[in-house]
Amino acid sequence: MAATEDKRMAPTLFEFICFMVTGARGLVDEPAAYGPFRLIDGTSRLIEALDKAGISDPFAARLRERIEEGKTLARDDREAFVGLIDELAVELARELKRRRG
Amino acid sequence: MDREQLLELMTGRRSVRRFRDEPVPGPILDDLITAALAAPTGSNIQSWQFIVLDQPGQVDELNMLSPGMFGSPTAAVVIAIDQNRCRELASRVGEVVGIMDVAMAAENIMLTAHGLGLGTCAIRSFHPGAVGELLDLPEHITPELIVSIGWPDEEPGQPPRRPIEEVVFYGRYGG
């Protein structure tokens, strides 16, 4: 394998980059409500991509489970979806405090 | 300070989003807070609360919960409102007045910082619940605005402004 090929990122991470860039362009024309969904779905995809690339984190894994359980709320119950995002944000803050040295 | 210097100060402030990795000394932060506390406050209610972050790691944690914060400022002030105080002392207009007071205090911080060679940026794009959790804010103390502070590593140009005749009138609207 050529030396330059060794420096490529894991395929799953490259896929994530493709998702983000194409998603950004799509959102220019798509309904505004798609934006939060793309970001939360993107969060889940990033966690999965990192895990497949050998970078795992138990907290992130639990976060992804909650996102996967609740992300269809974006379509079915906007208020509940917003509530889910608010809960996840506060849990991130709690985890930040726990990880302080 | 003469008139020209004053106008230069007032019109030269820019929102800075790139900072040098250099701490802001405590006495300078004290000056910024002194200026903030001198801002007008409706009926002198002073429902504001200021949380100053200047220790390594503190601003980084805030940054993680604030999508609107760019660069790596070495200090920040989170300006919050005591909602209980607002309701008790200002009734129904309390919330609006409280936010106006926060904005005026923030502007005092930003102009004073500019005069001292610092860069700042006013940030509303953060998650209030997460920031409240991070800073151990009681439920009735709500974060309203963040001012990032640091030694600027850029000199932004003036952003486009609407023509003065579109926004300034004398005597009556359209006059």
**Chain A: residues touching B (Cβ < 8 Å):** 86, 89-90, 92-94, 96-97, 100-101
Residue B134 at interface with chain A, using a CB cutoff of 8 Å: yes
**pLDDT, tens digit (0-9, with 9 covering 90-100), for B73-94:** 999 999 999 999 998 888 878 8
DSSP B23-79: PPPHHHHHHHHHHHHTS--GGG---EEEEEE-STTHHHHHHHT-TT--S--SEEEEE
Q: Which two tokens stand for residue B133?
A: 């959790």
CB-CB under 8 Å, B129 with A96? no
Å from A54 to nearest chain B CA?
A: 23
Give pLDDT, residue A17: 93
**pLDDT, tens digit (0-9, with 9 covering 90-100), for B2-51:** 999 999 999 999 999 999 999 999 999 999 999 999 999 998 999 999 99
Q: Which residue has the tokens 């220019």?
A: A28
Q: Indicate whether A1 pLDDT > 50.
A: no
Q: What is the arrangement of strands in the sheet containing B119-123, beginning at the earlier edge strand?
A: B48-53, B75-82, B141-150, B119-123
What ipTM was estimated for this complex?
Answer: 0.79
Q: Which two tokens stand for residue A9?
A: 């990122």
A3 falls in which pLDDT band (50, 70, 90)? very low
Q: Which two tokens stand for residue B32?
A: 């910024």
Q: Indicate whether A4 pLDDT > 50.
A: no
The C-alpha atoms of residue B88 and residue B79 are separated, in whole angstroms, by 20
Q: Which residues contact B159 (CB under 8 A, 6 or more apart)?
A: none
Size of interface A-B (CB pairs under 8 A): 30
Q: Which two tokens stand for residue A4?
A: 């330059």
CB-CB under 8 Å, B57 with A93? no
The C-alpha atoms of residue B32 and residue B86 are separated, in whole angstroms, by 24
> How far from B77 is each of A47, A93, B133, CA to CA, in Å?
32, 18, 16
Å from B142 to nearest chain A CA?
A: 14
**pLDDT, tens digit (0-9, with 9 covering 90-100), for A62-92:** 999 999 999 989 988 999 999 999 999 999 9
The C-alpha atoms of residue B68 and residue B125 are separated, in whole angstroms, by 5
Q: What is the dihedral of CA B2, B4, B10, B14, to 10 degrees?
A: -130
B61 → chain A, closest CA residue: A96
The stretch B51-63 carries a mean pLDDT of 94
Å from A17 to nearest chain B CA?
A: 19
Nearest by Cα to B89 from B107, B77, B101? B101
